[in-house]
Amino acid sequence: MKIIESLAHLDRRIIFLLVALAVIIPMIVPLNLPVDITKPVKNIYDKVESLPRGSVVLISTDYDPGSEAELYPATEAFIEHCFRKDLKVYMMGLWPAGSELGNIALNKIAKVYNKVYGEDYINVGYRPGGAVMLLSLGRNFSDVIKVDYQGIPIDSLPLGRRVKSSRDIFLVMTFSAGDPGILHWITYFHARYGVPICGATTAIMAPQQYPYLSSGQLTGLLGGLKGAAEYETLVDRKGRGLRGMDSQSIVHLLLVGFIALGNVILLYQRRKK
Amino acid sequence: MLITFFIPAKFAQDSSQLLQLWYQGVTAFFVFIGIFNLIKINVDKIQRRLRDWQYSIILLFFLGVMLGTGFIGGRDSKIFLYFFENFQVPLGATMFSLLAFFVASASFRAFRAKTPEATLLLIAAVIVMIGRIPIGYLIWNKFPDLVEWIMQVPNTAAKRGILFGIDLGLISMALRVLLGIERSYMGGGER
Amino acid sequence: MINTIGIWIAALLTLAIYSFLYKDNPFYKIAENIFVGVSAGYWAVVLWYDFAWPNLFEPLFTKGQWYNIFPIFIGLLMFAPLIPKISWMIRIPLTFTMGIAMAVSITQIVQGDIFPQLQATFLPLRGISVFNVISNLLIISGVIFTLTYFYFSKEHKGALGIGAKIGIWFMMISFGASFGYTIMARVSLFIGRVYFLLHNWLGVI
């Protein structure tokens, strides 16, 4: 069959073009597909809902621009949920660019909810040292953190004075794209100090977190852009996560089609031999 | 560090804490040496007119711009953040997004069910790909539950088994490093 | 105005990177080198302001914490290879950090990974629904069979061979699921860029 033979040598730039169209067209003409909520995501939502007003939530933005598309929408949705519940947000980043990306989200949402820097939220910037840093952090925050990201002494800020050790943190939410990240929060911070950990990871990392979900070391998990879309649905926020789900659906179907076509070609080639 | 884990006394924990803080201080210099090497390599490339040396000028120029705006204007200066938001973020995000195309190409050319194991892998992948999108929920409302079951049962089992293997390997590697048997991280042979 | 210029710069750099999909070209190479330069500069600045100055140098110079000289000195030894006579001293910071990291990892891997995961594998097989019994049995057996596959001290024959084979099946399902998620991740990154181009740059959506 000539069609199958010509498809077997399809120029990859045609594949690239089809993928691009599969993403662009649903963005321009949205399908507004409903998003189902999975249990790991609901667990995070329920955990935040259960926290008393004024509780301190530590948000760790452990990603860089390479994972911004997946994790930034989840960051915004989570921060909005925290501010809506009147929780205090203590932000830091184990990755240098993460602290800035988190800062952009934090300031944007804080303005909407009229939150006061230093009282309702704080950003202490980039903390190097990975896993070892987490151990010393949990014991004594002021040993590790001297100033916030603007260089203001941490003890001069009310929220900075309030958080002295892991005992003052009610929940850790990490937005993680790799190492250091969620695994260190679980095996070092949670294992040593017992603080509940929730995580949002890139979709690539999500399957590796399920053993920790199953063991209870991880309370909840947002996996990739779909996880962000689910959380946006729960907090009733029209963000980039939900916007991207139509394109995600069409591309996935396209790729399943590619896989099926590739295997049809394989069967044809085997029969020909 | 190992011993202080088992001694809850304050002097042990304080000394452990001090060593951990020193560790953080030393690791900061790893980044500085990395940037120093980056500058050295590119300056060398320009001086010796090696292949694509012109691009090294661009690299060093923008490195200089970031260092200059950052150290003169401050970490939260508008111009420093402007370069971060309009150069670093779009470039970083776009670099990694290229992989979407290559994964699509690979799924057409390489993802073939040649063996029973590969078929099982393919079936699991297709179920997850359809089950994790809203259309999957519309096709069959139990699709997401099926995917969650796959993630929580066979995926968890296999990942946990692999995790044990990795952890035991890491512990043995760590012991080898601490006992001085493994010295490859020092570079340049046994001495 | 300045924001508009910034968005145009971001859009043009994005398109420069995507031009690689057609063919490798100078625009892509320029964008790539800008990325490396900007990222490296950013990291150095943030590291200095967020950590190095307030935690190391400022306490040393202004607060009299003289013992900070030790991590600074050990860290500066990273530059030892520049002077051939003392290039061997680079081993000091390397062994210092490796020693601490390895020691900490031994205890935490056992406390934070092995014990909790082992505990989580002891799942109930009574007093729950049939479906959950089957699921739990699958998890327990899956862990054992996966570990069986990685046991290389004996040839995979007989019972060990069957166990290893079943372990492979569990791993294939797991890798298939990971592959599905990987595709999802890669596509999501592209979706993010398309959203930027259509919404922030062109204003089409």
Q: What is the pLDDT of residues B21-49, one digit of tens each?
A: 899 999 999 999 999 999 999 999 999 99
B12 interfaces chain C, CB cutoff of 8 Å: no
pLDDT value at A92 more than 90? yes
Residue-wise DSSP of A229-250: HHHHHHTT---HHHHHHHHHHH
| CB-CB contact of A28 with C199 (8 Å) | no
Residue B93 and residue B114 share a domain: no
C32 interfaces chain A, CB cutoff of 8 Å: no
Question: Dihedral angle at the C-alpha atoms of A72, A75, A81, A83, nearest 10 degrees?
Answer: -110
As a whole number of angstroms, the distance between CA A108 and CA A96 comes to 19
As a whole number of angstroms, the distance between CA A190 and CA C116 comes to 11
| CB-CB contact of A231 with B80 (8 Å) | no
Residue B114 and residue B92 share a domain: no
Confidence (pLDDT) at C151? 86
For the segment A178-215, what is each residue's pLDDT rounded down to a tens digit? Answer: 999 999 999 999 999 999 999 999 999 999 999 999 99
For A262, counting Cβ atoms within 10 Å of its Cβ (0-12 exposed, 13-18 middle, 19+ buried), the class is: buried
Residue B80 and residue B59 share a domain: yes
The DSSP call for residue A52 is P
As a whole number of angstroms, the distance between CA C47 and CA A97 comes to 11
Q: Within a domain: residue B69?
A: yes
Q: Which domain holds residue B32?
A: 2-97
- pLDDT category of residue A24 using cuts at 50, 70 and 90: very high
Residues sharing a CB contact under 8 Å with residue C193, sequence separation 6 or more, in sequence order: A69, B90, B93, B94, B97, C14
Least confident of A25-39, B78-92, C147-161: C147-161
C36 alpha carbon, distance to own chain's centre: 19
Among the partner-chain residues A39, A245, A259, the one whose CB lies closest to the CB of B126 is A259
What is the 3 state secondary structure string of C99-128? Answer: HHHHHHHHHHHHHHHHHHHHHHHCCCCCCC
Write the ipTM: 0.91
CA angle (B82 as vertex; B79, B85 as ends), nearest 5 = 155
Interchain proximity C38–B74, CB inside 8 Å: no
Interchain proximity B155–A133, CB inside 8 Å: no
What the block records as the tokens of B147 is 């995917």
Interchain proximity B2–C103, CB inside 8 Å: yes
Three-state SS at A170: coil
How many CB pairs below 8 Å do chains A and B form together? 157
- pLDDT category of residue B191 using cuts at 50, 70 and 90: very low
Confidence (pLDDT) at B188? 55
Residue B92 and residue B10 share a domain: yes
Number of alpha carbons in the 13 Å side-chain half-sphere of residue A142: 13
Q: Which residues of B130-169 are buried (b: 16+ CB within 10 A; e: fewer)?
A: bbbbbbbbeeeeebbeebbbbbbbbbbbbbbbbbbeebee
Residue-wise DSSP of C137-191: HHHHHHHHHHHHHT--SS-S-HHHHHHHHHHHHHHHHHHHHHHHHHHHHHHHHHH
Q: Is the dihedral of CA B183, A178, A108, A162 positive or negative?
A: negative
Mean pLDDT within A43-61: 97
Residue B116 and residue B30 share a domain: no
A97 interfaces chain C, CB cutoff of 8 Å: yes
B44 interfaces chain C, CB cutoff of 8 Å: no
Among the partner-chain residues A13, A69, A190, the one whose CB lies closest to the CB of C193 is A69
B81 interfaces chain C, CB cutoff of 8 Å: no
Q: Is the dihedral of CA C87, C93, C98, C103 positive or negative?
A: positive
The pair phi, psi for residue A88, each rounded to 5°, is -90, 135
pLDDT value at A53 more than 70? yes
| Phi/psi-derived region of residue C137, left when phi > 0, alpha when psi is between -120 and 50, beta in every other case | alpha
Taking only residues 151 to 170 of chain C, the set having a beta carbon closer than 8 angstroms to any beta carbon of chain A reads none
Mean pLDDT within B109-136: 91
As a whole number of angstroms, the distance between CA A127 and CA A132 comes to 11
The residue ranges of every structural domain in chain A are 2-30+248-272, 39-237
As a whole number of angstroms, the distance between CA B114 and CA B66 comes to 51
Element (H, E) at A199: strand A197-201
Confidence (pLDDT) at C157? 86
Q: Rounded to a whole number, what is the distance in Å from the CA of C62 to chain B's nearest CA?
A: 17
**Helix and strand totals (H; E) in chain C:** 8, 0
Confidence (pLDDT) at A1? 65
Least confident of A23-27, B14-18, B29-33: B14-18
For the segment A218-256, what is each residue's pLDDT rounded down to a tens digit? Answer: 999 999 999 999 999 999 999 999 999 999 999 999 999
pLDDT value at C186 more than 80? yes
B129 interfaces chain C, CB cutoff of 8 Å: yes
Q: Within a domain: residue B36?
A: yes
Question: In Å, what is the CA distance from A115 to each residue of A82, A122, B33, B34, B38?
Answer: 11, 10, 40, 39, 41
| CB-CB contact of B28 with A128 (8 Å) | yes
Q: Token match 């145009």: residue?
A: C8
The rounded percent of chain B whose pLDDT value lies above 70 is 97
CA of C112: which chain A residue's CA is closest?
A187
Confidence (pLDDT) at B78? 93
| CB-CB contact of B157 with A214 (8 Å) | no
The DSSP call for residue A11 is -
pLDDT value at C188 more than 90? yes
Confidence (pLDDT) at A198? 97
What the block records as the tokens of B67 is 């260092």
Query: In chain C, what is the greatest distance between 2 CA atoms, to the nearest angstrom?
Result: 74
Sheet strand arrangement including A88-93: A121-126, A88-93, A56-62, A171-176, A197-201, A220-223
Interchain proximity A34–B21, CB inside 8 Å: no
Residue B105 and residue B58 share a domain: no
Among the partner-chain residues C55, C184, C185, the one whose CB lies closest to the CB of A146 is C55
Residue B182 and residue B112 share a domain: yes
As a whole number of angstroms, the distance between CA A122 and CA A88 comes to 8
> Which of B97, B129, B163 represents a domain boundary (last residue)?
B97
| CB-CB contact of A91 with A103 (8 Å) | yes
Confidence (pLDDT) at B9? 84
- pLDDT category of residue B180 using cuts at 50, 70 and 90: confident
Residue B30 and residue B105 share a domain: no
Q: Within a domain: residue B118?
A: yes
Three-state SS at A1: coil
Q: Within a domain: residue B48?
A: yes
Q: Within a domain: residue B115?
A: yes
What the block records as the tokens of A81 is 């949920």
Domain count, chain B: 2
Residue-wise DSSP of chain B: -HHHHT--SHHHHHHHHHHHHHHHHHHHHHHHHHHHHHHHHHHHHHHTT-TTHHHHHHHHHHHHHHHHIIIII-TT-HHHHHHIIIIIHHHHHHHHHTHHHHHHHHHHHT----SHHHHHHHHHHHHHHHHTSHHHHHH-TTHHHHHHHHIIIIIHHHHHHHHHHHHHHHHHHHHHHHTTS--GGG-SS--
Interchain proximity A149–B76, CB inside 8 Å: yes
pLDDT value at A49 more than 80? yes
What the block records as the tokens of C46 is 């943030």
Number of alpha carbons in the 13 Å side-chain half-sphere of residue B160: 30
For the segment B127-172, what is each residue's pLDDT rounded down to a tens digit? Answer: 999 999 999 999 998 999 999 999 999 999 999 999 999 999 999 9
pLDDT value at B189 more than 60? no
B146 contacts in chain C (CB < 8 Å): none
Residue B105 and residue B75 share a domain: no
Fold for A39-237, please state it.
Rossmann fold (3.40.50)
Amino acid at B165: G
- pLDDT category of residue C180 using cuts at 50, 70 and 90: very high
As a whole number of angstroms, the distance between CA C108 and CA B5 comes to 10
The rounded percent of chain C whose pLDDT value lies above 90 is 80
Of A136, A69, A68, which is closest to residue A97 (Cα–Cα)?
A: A68
pLDDT value at C48 more than 60? yes
The pair phi, psi for residue A83, each rounded to 5°, is -70, -35
As a whole number of angstroms, the distance between CA A178 and CA B8 comes to 32
As a whole number of angstroms, the distance between CA B156 and CA B160 comes to 6
Residue B127 and residue B176 share a domain: yes
pTM higher than 0.90: yes
Residue B7 and residue B83 share a domain: yes
pLDDT value at A29 more than 80? yes
Residue B60 and residue B31 share a domain: yes
As a whole number of angstroms, the distance between CA A232 and CA A74 comes to 8
Q: What is the β-pairing status of strands A171-176 and A88-93?
A: unpaired
Question: In Å, what is the CA distance from C192 to each residue of A24, A78, A246?
Answer: 11, 18, 13
Q: Within a domain: residue B126?
A: yes
Confidence (pLDDT) at B187? 66
